[in-house]
Structure 1
Amino acid sequence: MNTSTRRAIFLDECGVGPLWVRRHAEIVQLVTQPEVLIAEIANAPVGTIVALAPAILKAEFVDNVAIILTPALALPAAQAPGAQAEADDLMSAWEETSLPISTAPTTFDPLQQIPQNIATDSDTVLADIAGMDWRQLKAAVSECTRCGLCHGRAHTVFGVGDERAKWLFIGEGPGQSEDQVGEPFVGPAGKLLDNMLLAIGVKRGENAYIANIVKCRPTNDEGHDRSPSAEEIAACLPHLQRQIALIEPTVLVALGKTAALALLALDPSTLVASLRGTIHRYAGLPLVVTYHPAYLLRKPADKAKVWSDLCLATTCHAPVLE
């Protein structure tokens, strides 16, 4: 029995769809006997159990440690030290709101939200950006002062990857780790994104480019990460538009709500769930919307949905390869 079959049997036993797991021999051995694995982890130390309570049994692999998520094993939040702090470290931008799904999303153009001081020079600046090559664009981003985010940044986060990539993944904006190193998607969310790419046969830097809607880290008054404002998005979006034009990707994947709404010019009340499962268009290119990796760290059960979204994106990409 091959590895993929064993993995499918285990996931079926757990009642969940595909998950990204590390492909190590000891995991393969474990999943051949799921009932033994479940029994062993049920008796594991408290530190290996996550304080979540989904309706059905699920399993997650983190650094070769299987974590069981089930009501019977769920612990109160107070018994899981650091769990809340870890959640607080994640940007809130990738959480779905409690608003009902809009059946007819309202058009919302972030470029109409440009403040007066930016609007006065927008025609000239947009024309300049539209004619830049990679070197000029990187220099312009590194020196950009078109919105207030420039005052708090350690580094601009331009983007990373193959500049002729067929896959373009677009997130919201840099977090603290990204701001420190100047590269998008580092830390736990970045590692998960890398695993997502590997699941569809793509590697960071090889036929994939990763960017964000804004190039500087948005923070609130307490210094915590936040979603960028409409004005900040409007000021920075022309840089991303030029990146798209230079890369000429085959398919765009919007990671999370902010990226999806900015690219599709939709009302802020629109939910990611209402945009999934459909091939949208941006500048004539196919665009698939899915959840942000940071959101998946908080709600791992939705990884199966993201797998479905990536498979949909693959259908857009495949004809170009043939």
Structure 2
Amino acid sequence: MKWFQTATLSLAVLVTAGCASNSNNNAEWLYPPMAVPLQASVQQEVQIARLGQLLQRPDLKNEVRAKMFYERGSYYDSVGLRDLARLDYKQSLAINPLQPDLYNLLGVHFTQVGDFDAAYDAFGSTLELDPSNSYAERNRAIALYYGDRLPLAMEDMQKHYAQDPEDPFRALWLYLIESEVDPIKARERLVASYQQRNEQWGWVLVAISLGEVSEANAFKAILQGTRDNTLLAQRLTEAYFYLGKRYQREGDFASAISLYKLAISFNVYEYVEHRYAFLELTRIYNQVQEEQLARAKSQQQQAAK
């Protein structure tokens, strides 16, 4: 999701779908549910061109120029032009360094490309300027998780979760991080949270992650509760990402890779699930490569005996 707005979807739809098709709980999709990939709108393209022209003016005040760089960078980000977005963000900060939200955006960018030290610094800058920024707190915990600093990640995420235990995304990311430390305790905690769930859409993702609902029923609930293509693309991006995380934890890398690719395919560039799917694919590749090298080394040692 975009860091971080929560949409709602009645879980009654999910329950209804489950009750209506108990006999088909083990059914698999012949083709995965899809949405039309999002494309840059005319408005986005016009705004990028317009801001580019305005930034050429020599009489702009620094405050206005900084805001324009920030705005154009946001438009670049929304259409997947990440390097151009990062360049504009940095130019905006060079003019006005007192922008906590912008440091947070840069931190997410750095996390996506695996530059974790830069990500920690960026999130730290956000929290220094705005200690109450919960987005940066969560993003830093996730960056620490991807940077293999699990104790620090747990500390940040536990604090973040305690501020709003009813937020399904807080519960879900605490589970993903804690699973690396104590899988049994992590699952017990998430199940307890799920049992106290409200009607927020994110609890459907928790159900998918726990295997509390079949994939077929989960996707039926998504399709039945979503009529707008943009919203469908957003929800499928999230669903495929977290389902990919589940398969990855189970060691089914082939399924995880397919699901991450599906999460990427809808072009929901502003969602971290889209961004971090690339990072997850890299992690799987590195893990498989390390396992193959270790296996080859072991075989060589045995052959030498």
Higher relative contact order (CA 8 A, sep 6+): 2
TM-score after normalising by structure 2: 0.30
